[in-house]
Amino acid sequence: MRTERRGGALRALRRHPLVFASLTVYALFNIFCLLWLISTSLKGSAEILATSPWTLPETPLWQNYVDAWTYGRMGTYLMNSVIVTSITTAAVLALGSLSGYIFARVQFPGRAALIAVFMAAMMIPPFALVVPLFDVLAWASLLDSRTGLVLVYVAMELPLVTFILTSFHQTLPKELEEAASIDGASAFGTFWRVVLPQTGPALTACGIVVVLRIWNEFIFALTFIRDEQVLTLAVGIFNLSQVADYSSNWAVLFAGMVISVMPVLIVFGLFQRNFTSGMAQGAMKL
């Protein structure tokens, strides 16, 4: 299997050398930026300003990470982002799986109109929804709460996930579902035991996309959250940058940026194969 994959990769490289060269340069650039960020986070603020950006730290200052975690409140921001992102991703995947399966398999009155509504929701820019969503959350007393932020994120991500999973469900063979129905399985039982296991790669790909989008979301978190105890990482990094502008404490800012990047890199590294498989299957089936 590995030999076949390696041979296929070599054939693709011969057919598209410019594409692979461009992707290689892009990957190396991102790796270089990450290494530069880690190197700078281990310098003192005076050393950052006095030396070249490309020089390595004379003495690594791991205390920068301690200061970012405690004084910079990165521990609180990280926990808030983990909670919000985890709940949002789980809710979106659960609802998106059900709605995608229904749209793909069930013909009901108003189906086309409802699909059009979901597609139209994907075209609305987020900044156009800030004011009406602020009024709704204020009316529901959900400002400055993780619950309100999660509800907004679920509504924002659900149309995209539903659209992707609807297309994926439409390509799955119906024979297994028909066999389960003949054996007496209920509609939900068929979905849970037969359909859902087949959508694992697509769910993984959608989950990683949702995690990346929610982890880096800034506009809604900045607008709807003011309580320091509820802020997410994106807003927390912004606050650290504002403090660094006045105090010149750049070392804590760079350490905070490394802390905010690492969880996403770990998640992507753990699920990279599943993500690649899901994207490849989706590309072939769509």
Domain spans in the chain, listed from the N-terminal domain onward: 65-285
Is the distance from CB of 41 to CB of 65 less than 8 angstroms? Answer: yes
Q: How many Cα atoms occupy the beta-carbon half-sphere of 107 within 13 Å?
A: 0
Per-residue pLDDT, 282: 47
Residue scoring higher pLDDT (81 or 54)? 81
Nearest residue to 207 via CA among 105, 286, 97: 97
Over residues 173-181, the mean pLDDT reads 79
Q: Is the pLDDT of residue 45 over 90?
A: no
Using the predicted structure, report yes or no on whether residue 94 has a pLDDT greater than 60. yes
Work out the pLDDT band at 8, boundaries 50, 70, 90. low
C-alpha dist (Å) from residue 108 to 76, 115, 189, 234: 46, 12, 20, 41
Average pLDDT over residues 101-129: 85
Confidence tier at 151 by pLDDT (50, 70, 90): very high
| Cα–Cα distance list, 78 to 63, 88, 93, 215, 243 (Å) | 18, 15, 22, 10, 18
Q: CB within 8 A of 167, min separation 6: which ones?
A: 104, 282, 285, 286
Question: Mean pLDDT over residues 64-73, rounded?
Answer: 89
Evaluate whether the domain defined by 65-285 bears CATH number 3.90.400.10.
no
**Cβ–Cβ under 8 Å, residues 268 and 275:** yes
Radius of gyration of the chain (CA): 23
How far apart CA 237 and CA 262 sit, in angstroms, is 14
Give the global pTM.
0.84
